[in-house]
Amino acid sequence: MSALITGYYVEKEYIKKLENLNEDITKKSEDSFSWYHLNVLEAEAKEWLKEKSGLSDIVIKELISEETRPRVLKDEEGILLNLRGLNLNPNSDEEDMVSLHMWIEPDRIITTRSERVFTIDDIDKSYQRGNGPRTIADFLIRVLDGVIDKISDYIYKIEEDIDEMEEEVLTAERSKLRSMISEKRREVVIIRRYIVPQRELMARLYKDKISWLDEDDKEYIYEFSNRSIRQIEELDTIRDRAALVQEELNNKINDQMNRTMYILSIVGSIFLPLGFLTGLFGINIGGMPGTESNAAFAIFSLIMIVIIGIEYWLFKKNDWI
């Protein structure tokens, strides 16, 4: 795989796809910019960042890092964003969010990743169709919108799963349902851990003075921040609902266990005197009554039936059964 996954030189009325990292670019307008999307698992990408990008060591270190928490770093030359998006790659868990690093300066955007980020794929496809973002601000807004939209869809799916679990708590196989609830609670904890700092990132973007972000752009970012807050609130609600479902399920399991123990206690109470009698008359020693009588077994059986009847009457009278 190439170090340059995709890249474009962009003007308002012109788009050119970049074929390699060292391609010469002649700027034709002041508001044009170049976008490089790199795979940092490739040695060529790391070499280009260190030797030809002109970036500081701190920025390069962040761009090639595989695991980082969402944050924003601003200096005189540009801003560095670390974002987290859903892991939509095959055979991966969505909540194991992938990292997307972005360096943005007035005439250049560098994005890096170690795993495929589908939001970036969507932007690449939009350029191929000829309707990709034409300004740096629009590019940033497209990325933030794509990341948040996918997270919102995922949260909605979790809510639907919790709805089904609430309906199934009375009928589903309890051991299976318990594992499903635990898994959903784990997913919520993981994804919330990244959304909280991601909301703070957007809040800072809104507050900081950035030359290429106008008031309209900041209004979009403010809305993204509010959407992130709503996502956090929804995750908290899902977590509470999952805890209630877990509690209800535990109550059902405890009720079932108590009912089972109660039935066993009733059975034990019924057969305790019968077991005593059969044990007493089963000893093989001299002097046992009825050993010489042919009617002794029938009389003994009748006595046990009467005892069972008396016990049943006592249990019914005291509402034990």
d(CA 36, CA 5): 8
- Give me the pLDDT at residue 168, please: 79
Q: Which residues contact 274 (CB under 8 A, 6 or more apart)?
A: 304, 307, 308
Taking the model in full, what pTM does it have? 0.78
Mean pLDDT over 143-167 rounds to 91
* pLDDT at residue 7 tops 70: yes
- Give me the pLDDT at residue 227, please: 93
pLDDT digits (tens, 9 = 90+) for 181-229: 888 888 898 899 989 999 999 999 999 888 888 999 999 999 999 999 9
* pLDDT at residue 172 tops 80: no
- Greater model confidence, 161 or 27: 161
pLDDT digits (tens, 9 = 90+) for 85-124: 888 888 888 888 899 999 999 889 999 998 889 999 999 9
d(CA 89, CA 290): 82
Mean pLDDT over 30-59 rounds to 90
What is the average pLDDT score of the chain? 86
**Least confident segment among 2-16, 129-143, 275-289:** 275-289
The one-character DSSP state at 67 is S
Which domains, ranges and CATH numbers included, belong to the chain?
Answer: 4-252 (3.30.460.20), 257-317 (1.20.58)
243: which 2 tokens? 């805890």
- Give me the pLDDT at residue 286, please: 65
